[in-house]
Amino acid sequence: MGRLFGTDGVRGVANADLTAEMALGLSVAAAHVLAVADAAQPAGQRPKAVVGRDPRASGEFLEAAVVAGLASAGVDVLRVGVLPTPAVAYLTGALGADLGVMLSASHNPMPDNGVKFIARGGHKLSDELEDEIEALYHKHERGEPWRRPTGAGVGRVQRYEEGFDRYVAHLLGVLPHRLDGLRVVVDGAHGAAARVSPEAFQRAGAEVIPIGTDPTGLNINDGYGSTHLDQLRAAVVEHGADLGIAHDGDADRCLAVDAAGQEIDGDQILAVLALGLREAGRLRKNTVVATVMSNLGFKLALEREGVELIQTAVGDRYVLEEMKRGGYALGGEQSGHVIVLDHATTGDGTLTGLLLASRVAASGRPLAELAAVMERLPQVLINVRDVDKARAAGSAELRQAVVEAERELGATGRVLLRSSGTEPVVRVMVEAADIDQARSVAGRLADVVKSALG
């Protein structure tokens, strides 16, 4: 039996892989693990959970299942409705909740959905806590009954309407410089940030052109958002905007485009924010944390600027763990997960976009000029589908192919081959000084993946 939890919660096709029954059972298990009454809890007070979701149609029935599971386990539930993942994390901490739950499959297509649990304080779960929840869930599947309160012990459920304004106020409260005079296109991916992000930018003083902000429950990530930047590029150029901001479905990511419509990826955003934090004396230990997927040009730029770089395994949770361990202020991923630990417990796309725009406004320099601190080396990423990704780590054929590719690239490039934690694919990433060489090597490696794991 494979592990239910991936790198970001439990995901799958809603009502097929991820059913209402599973969502309910996982929520009861999470309540037992994360919402156990402790000595700090006043006598007779039930544990509390914050539950939010993105606009996917399947989120409606999955939310109902999660809420039922939590309440049946004796947990009071505050339903905050459609809000970004970082908003649910923030509210979990701000409201003193014992846990949070977010229903979202992030950047995945609409038929998918996911259940993401958040620990007390608004923090991501450790592998150990996820394993404990999963073990308890499987015990129940095998026939072990739940401990069920009755009478006054069952949880109560209510809407928490103040969540939207409280989260936006938090974002504006940590913004170092207002955005007056900036024209910004905000792409909400028809997702969880469709209302929040345009509102936050507008209240911060920017002139906002919103796109991808009409969620129907069926159009999330469909042609809009951080995985589909063409609409954002076109809108920025058409409206003569200073920059554009794109989120994914649950808005824990942020990518950008400059005034000419050129993409500014997560590495470039990190570089811009790192230098801004250093200038303000807030880049603790003069260090940035990123993953092994970061472009080699990012590493070279930080070296040139005298900033240290620590690299982790892929996944913003591993970046966050390293940031906490070392007491660092800034970290993130090329994909646009950016963590500013002074202001958020997880990647926050709206906060990232606001801070990036704030840096543009405060410096008086266009985004393209700020982002030019680093030069992206050509990087080719191929997602190989319909293969058995579980066999990738043990394949001698793949290991030999990677060794040969690295020998060909030498010191001017690198190869990274990894199984996705959120999708049924194996990712082949190749960097080289020359784009044609990167494409050639990546294509050959992708063919080996297909033949070895197909």
- Residue 41 in this model has a pLDDT that exceeds 70: no
Give the per-residue pLDDT at 317: 85
pTM: 0.88
Name the residue type at position 23: A
**Over residues 190-219, mean pLDDT:** 98
- Residue 137 in this model has a pLDDT that exceeds 80: yes
CATH top-level class of 10-161: alpha beta
**Model pLDDT for residues 60-69, shown as the tens digit of each residue:** 999 999 999 9
| 10-161 against 166-371: fold identical | yes
Confidence band (pLDDT; 50, 70, 90) for 39?
very low
Residue whose C-alpha is closest to residue 373's, from 438, 293, 306, 289: 306
Lowest pLDDT segment from 32-41, 123-132, 192-201: 32-41
Q: Is 222 annotated as a binding residue?
A: no
Give the per-residue pLDDT at 316: 85
In DSSP terms, 337 is beta-bridged to 253
Confidence band (pLDDT; 50, 70, 90) for 392?
confident
Lowest pLDDT segment from 19-33, 247-261, 392-406: 392-406
Q: Is 106 annotated as a binding residue?
A: yes
The angle subtended at Cα 337 by Cα 330 and Cα 22, nearest 5°, is 125
**Model pLDDT for residues 146-170, shown as the tens digit of each residue:** 989 999 999 999 999 999 999 999 9
Q: What is the bridge-based pairing of β-strands 308-312 and 330-332? A: unpaired
Arithmetic mean of pLDDT over the chain = 93
**Model pLDDT for residues 265-317, shown as the tens digit of each residue:** 999 999 999 999 999 999 999 999 999 889 988 998 999 999 999 999 888 88
Residue ranges per structural domain of the chain: 10-161, 166-371, 379-453
The residues that are catalytic are: 106
Q: Quick one: tokens of 391? A: 């066999």
CA atoms of 210 and 151, how far apart (whole Å): 48
Domain 166-371 in CATH 3.40.120.10? The answer is yes
CATH top-level class of 379-453: alpha beta
**Over residues 354-367, mean pLDDT:** 98
Phi, psi of 121 (to 5 degrees): 90, -5
